[in-house]
Structure 1
């Protein structure tokens, strides 16, 4: 008798949830070994940052124009990131939209602090990590149903993603599974669909194990360097992320290669070779993933 094929990925790996964690414990159990963790009220329960709401941003910054991404209405490029939003709208109109109804429209890597510098005073990063890039906090807004497709961050930094309103589903995969996830060469992306994996097309996915969790208001999820992440907005949501450099030199060198050299080389070859370059990357992703099967 032939065993029935699984219809979903194995996402049963555990993630710790902690609160009031000391620097010593965070470094020992999570930063040095590069293990994900959910930290409750990282900035302290009384931090002003937890008072940020949709109404607050609509009142303070509703007049500015923001770049909006919408995967459903755009030509998807599985092997690369969108570097510029294809359309703009008033921030206030966008915030009203995502609260009214489900929508795939989202804002990401939005430097809201550039428009209101005093927001930096609303939080102070706790002394649990070193080389924290507090000068570069980035905000994320999305409506119910919006999805940030699976990828690894190009700069290979560690990420502290804090949810302020709403709920997000976060799916994580250890970078040791990069090849089994059919990562495109010269890219930090893959074509797999976390919610509807095609095991016939991508048989190596059977060997992958991940983490499936939800973060809500006051939660910060620590995503170590190079970890793959897929994010869904279960409700309209807003959050922001602070990055820090990995304590491991290898992670930093990989980030330098990816940002400083790899992405530019990929763009050049894509422009020069077009579909032939993408076809080569697709073949090699499959070959690397299934070479050990």
Structure 2
């Protein structure tokens, strides 16, 4: 049997590249892959204490490095996928009604599945919660009276951590429901403390009376699965959920207070600098276009949920949520439709890049 010859190894890297530490070598490659201007890169390296001649040579030589050239090939395939997303987004946005999140009553199951679930289109359903006892009962005082003695895990200290959602496990603090109600009612508007879905209190039998306060559900929901697929949210005005996407579709019903939702199409993911998990570092309330210039191209949709409104969040839609008043809300994922609601994402783990 004749074996094919092994391909020779690539030529050694030039001295200028070898003179750089691995961190600086990666920095040079990253910035050239971002198509940063060599002159700007050189100025940054020299200002950081790097040797000017070595830096200039390394920036020039990286263009011939075989590992860098391989990265450029993969970048071409990535940019093709990005262009596919951008072209499909253009088609979506050609609908004159694209920029408005519809508010609908009495949507049939067939229309809901076809237009909103398979059409991947957000919508606010009105009237869903009209018969919910929660709409008449839920309040901070009621929560304190019925469940005040029970302990829950809340997020505390969010204001001191810019990555409060990513670091939510570090911010857990155990307290009674009564203690948290008092903190919310007396603490004023703030993002510093929030009882979120992360606590999973509705999986505990002692909180089942809250589920008894839920009445009719959207036509694609299986009530028998509610106890495994529901979350409770409670916090003061000023609480924020940073820009992110969920890994499945869900409903979110506002019970007390108002929340502003800002949403961006999943097809515009390449514009949102998604470098860690399902999160974006972009703040849609205070966009930093100098640091995140691609954000200028993103089309942001907005709606405010009033008490009784139910938002359907389609698959992959980015969203950033702010409470405009003391808020109690309820989210659920107990889908009963001929559509999957379990999906896999290959999420990045790059971090602050």
1:58 lines up with 2:144 in the alignment: yes
Listed one character per residue, the Cα deviations across residues 128-157 of structure 1 (whole Å, up to 9, x for unaligned) are 22678522210001111111111112xx11
Bigger CA drift: 215-224 or 112-121? 112-121
Q: 2:194 aligns with which of 99, 106, 118?
A: 106
More helix by share: 2
Structure 1: distance between partners of 2:290 and 2:125? 37
SS at the partner of 2:251? strand
Q: CA deviation at 1:20?
A: 2.0
Q: CA deviation at 1:162?
A: 0.6
Contact 1:169 1:234 in 2 (8 A): yes
Structure 1: distance between partners of 2:113 and 2:175? 42
Q: CA deviation at 1:41?
A: 2.5
SS at the partner of 2:196? strand
1:278 corresponding residue in structure 2: 351
Q: 1:78 to 1:147 in 2, by over 3 A?
A: closer
The count of residues paired between Structure 1 and Structure 2 equals 247
Structure 2: distance between partners of 1:125 and 1:180? 38
Q: CA deviation at 1:79?
A: 8.9
1:38-187 alignment to 2 at 5 Å?
38-43=124-129, 45-51=130-136, 52-70=138-156, 72-77=158-163, 80=166, 82-83=168-169, 85-100=171-186, 101-104=188-191, 105-109=193-197, 110-113=199-202, 114=204, 115-126=206-217, 128-129=219-220, 133-135=225-227, 136-153=229-246, 156-184=247-275, 187=277
Structure 2: distance between partners of 1:118 and 1:194? 37
More strand by share: 1
Relative CO higher for 1 or 2, CA cutoff 8 Å, sep ≥ 6? Answer: 1
1:32 corresponding residue in structure 2: 118
Q: 1:67 to 1:74 in 2, by over 3 A?
A: farther
Q: Give unmatched runs, 5+ long, in structure 1.
A: 1-11, 267-276, 283-293
* TM-score, scaled relative to structure 2: 0.63
Q: CA deviation at 1:124?
A: 4.4
1:188 corresponding residue in structure 2: 278
Structure 2: distance between partners of 1:79 and 1:91? 21
SS at the partner of 2:217? coil
Structure 1: distance between partners of 2:163 and 2:207? 33
Q: 2:327 aligns with which of 237, 249, 252?
A: 237
Structure 2: distance between partners of 1:89 and 1:19? 39
* TM-score, scaled relative to structure 1: 0.75
